[in-house]
């Protein structure tokens, strides 16, 4: 009896007799327990990797979240030109806006700074130069930026400063001046100079 019990225990296997269900079974054609455990180990590892990927993706979205930039206006009695700067509110973009405002104050030039979500209330014909600082959204232009470009009467006075992870993406849908950059601190100074040079070319 003891010999038969040991033999019976040794031949017990897990078998998937029905879809989605497992049962203990003796006999040929069953799935050995070690293979079932191996399968569930693979599923566990796959689920763990997916969880890590999801957490990383959430962290990425939070780190690239665009805040709302505060409206600012700087007027000078003898200013001959008007410059509009529309931007999103990430730390890098805020630093770029601050640098550009400091540069323009030396001209002097009347300056208005707005968030890109307010572009719908502005008309390009009222400005001598328009600088739009924005990020990509799923490899596309931010919707408010696109809407502004669609109704712009003179796109030669508009510059896009497009930030992306690679620092190279730019739209091909509009014939406008575009500068591209990654949102890195070391890019701030050269980017400020390039945008400033473009603004100078528009204010002559």
DSSP labels, the chain: -HHHHHHHHHTEEEEEEETTEEEEEESTTPBPHHHHHHHHHHHHHHHHHHHHHHHHHHHHHHHT---PPPPEEE--TT---EEEEEE--SHHHHHHHHHHHHHHHTTT-EEEEEEGGGGGG--GGG-SEEEEEEE-SSSS--HHHHHHHHH-S-GGGEEEEEE-SSS----SSS--EEEEE-S-HHHHHHHHHHHHHHHHHH--
Record: fold of 72-202: Rossmann fold (3.40.50)
Domain ranges of the chain: 2-63, 72-202
Q: What is the pLDDT of residue 35?
A: 64
pLDDT in tens, the chain (204 residues): 444 444 444 444 444 444 344 444 444 445 666 666 676 777 877 777 777 766 654 444 444 456 899 999 999 998 999 999 999 999 999 999 999 999 999 988 999 999 999 999 999 999 999 999 999 877 889 999 999 999 999 999 999 999 988 888 999 999 999 999 999 999 999 999 999 999 999 998
Give the span between the Cα atoms of 92 and 98, in whole angstroms: 10
In the numeric block, which tokens belong to residue 196? Answer: 């400033």
130 near 159, Cβ under 8 Å?
Answer: yes
CA-CA-CA-CA dihedral for 141, 146, 152, 157, to nearest 10: -20
Q: What is the pLDDT of residue 27?
A: 41
């Amino acid at each position: 009896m003891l010999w038969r019990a040991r033999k019976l225990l040794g031949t017990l296997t897990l078998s998937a007799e029905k879809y989605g269900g497992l049962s203990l079974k003796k006999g040929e054609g069953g799935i050995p327990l070690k293979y079932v455990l191996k399968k569930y180990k693979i599923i566990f590892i796959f689920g763990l990797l997916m969880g890590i990927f999801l957490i990383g993706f959430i962290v990425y979205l939070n780190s690239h979240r665009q805040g709302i930039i505060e409206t600012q206006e700087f007027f000078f009695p003898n200013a001959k030109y008007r410059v509009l700067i529309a931007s999103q509110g990430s730390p890098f973009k805020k630093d770029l806006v601050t640098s550009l405002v400091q540069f323009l104050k030396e001209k002097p030039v009347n300056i208005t700074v707005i968030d890109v979500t307010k572009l719908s209330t502005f008309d390009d014909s009222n400005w001598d130069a328009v600088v739009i600082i924005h990020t990509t959204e799923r490899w596309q232009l931010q919707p408010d930026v696109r809407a502004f470009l669609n109704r712009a009467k003179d796109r030669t006075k508009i510059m896009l400063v497009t930030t992306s992870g690679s620092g190279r993406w730019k739209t091909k849908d509009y014939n406008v001046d575009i500068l591209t950059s990654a949102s890195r601190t070391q890019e701030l100074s050269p980017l400020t100079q390039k945008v400033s040079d473009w603004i100078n070319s528009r204010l002559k």
